[in-house]
Amino acid sequence: MAIKWLTRIALGLIALSVVGYLAFYFGSQLVMDKKWPVRPDPVRAAEGPNAVTQGARLARLYGCQDCHGTELRGRLYVDEPGIASLWAPNLTLKAQTYSDADLARGIRAGIDPKGRALITMPSVAYSRLSDAEIGEILAYIRSLRPGGEVRPLSNVGWIGRLGLITDDYRTAPVEVANARDHPLPDFGPRFAAGRGLARACVECHGADLSGDRGVGTPNLNVVKDYTEAQFEKLLLTGRSNTGHELDLMSATARRRFNGLSSADMAALYGYLRQRAKTAE
């Protein structure tokens, strides 16, 4: 008798876990398969003598190469068993079949030409780039010689899928939508240039720069502990105000930010100081 009950309980548990797994698998699949509107985007690749150089500068500042590779030919940039294997696509090959609008929509809205939500592409950091900036980035992408391989789609493991269901991980268009109500605070024309540059910090420090626990970033109010010279040094060398090497931040500063002019760094510092002051 006891054996019979135990068997039933065991079978029941197995059935439950199968149902649970299926619900979980299809639930997360539903999040990833949701169709998004494919709106036209009037942006066109910029022309003119400086467009490509300017676009390359912006691509570096915004970290396109960090994920898509130095020549934007795509690469596996995260490979965490169980969580996800993330492939950034080969943009030089995409550019051969994509229109300017398709590329722009991918960058700013996080939606592919078929209406699929991109995953882990940080469109949230690019959604407010101006048409002029996007035009220059497109000019740069189109200037690169097409080459390399077509990369596979990213594969999201069960931990990643759990994150999608519990809303700990979001697809790119969901992040863009969530950030709509959290723009970078606007302190008028005097701080406009710095505010524009601060978009390069959104990817990791969050839509309103108040920090992101998932990435381990502080609220950028921390600049109140930095003199302007210390801030410049952080962006140029990666050393903190106490002279320390940080983790991701130092590597990012040396890869992306050490090309900023001193005028740009002063503008960025001015904006972040103003933001910190207003928050007090």
Would you tell me which residues interact with ligand HEC (CB under 6 A)? 59, 62-64, 66-68, 86, 88-89, 91, 94, 103, 106-107, 112, 118-122, 126, 137, 153-154, 200-201, 203-205, 215-218, 220, 222-223, 234, 240-241, 246-249, 252, 257
CA dist., res. 173 & res. 103, Å (int): 15
Q: Compute the least distance from the CB of residue 95 to ligand HEC, in Å.
A: 8
Nearer CB in complex with ligand HEC: 18/251? 251
Instruction: Return d(Cα 100, Cα 178) in angstroms, integer.
Output: 25
N- to C-terminal Cα separation, the chain:
70
Among residues 31 and 201, whose Cβ is nearest to ligand HEC? 201
Separation CA 214–CA 231 (nearest Å): 24
- Amino acid, single-letter form, for residue 273: R
- Tell me how far, at minimum, the Cβ of 24 lies from ligand HEC, in Å: 20
CB of 27 to ligand HEC, least distance (A): 18
Q: Measured from the CB of residue 199, what is the shortest distance to ligand HEC in angstroms?
A: 8
Cα–Cα distance for residue pair 80/25, rounded to 1 Å: 19
**Cβ closest to ligand HEC, residue 18 vs residue 246:** 246
Closer residue to ligand HEC in complex, CB, 6/143? 143
Q: Which is nearer to ligand HEC, 23 or 248 (CB)?
A: 248
CA dihedral (103, 109, 112, 118) positive or negative? positive
Residue whose C-alpha is closest to residue 252's, from 199, 201, 198, 193: 201
Cβ 74 to ligand HEC shortest distance, Å:
9
Q: In degrees to the nearest 10, what's the CA dihedral of 32, 35, 41, 43?
A: 20
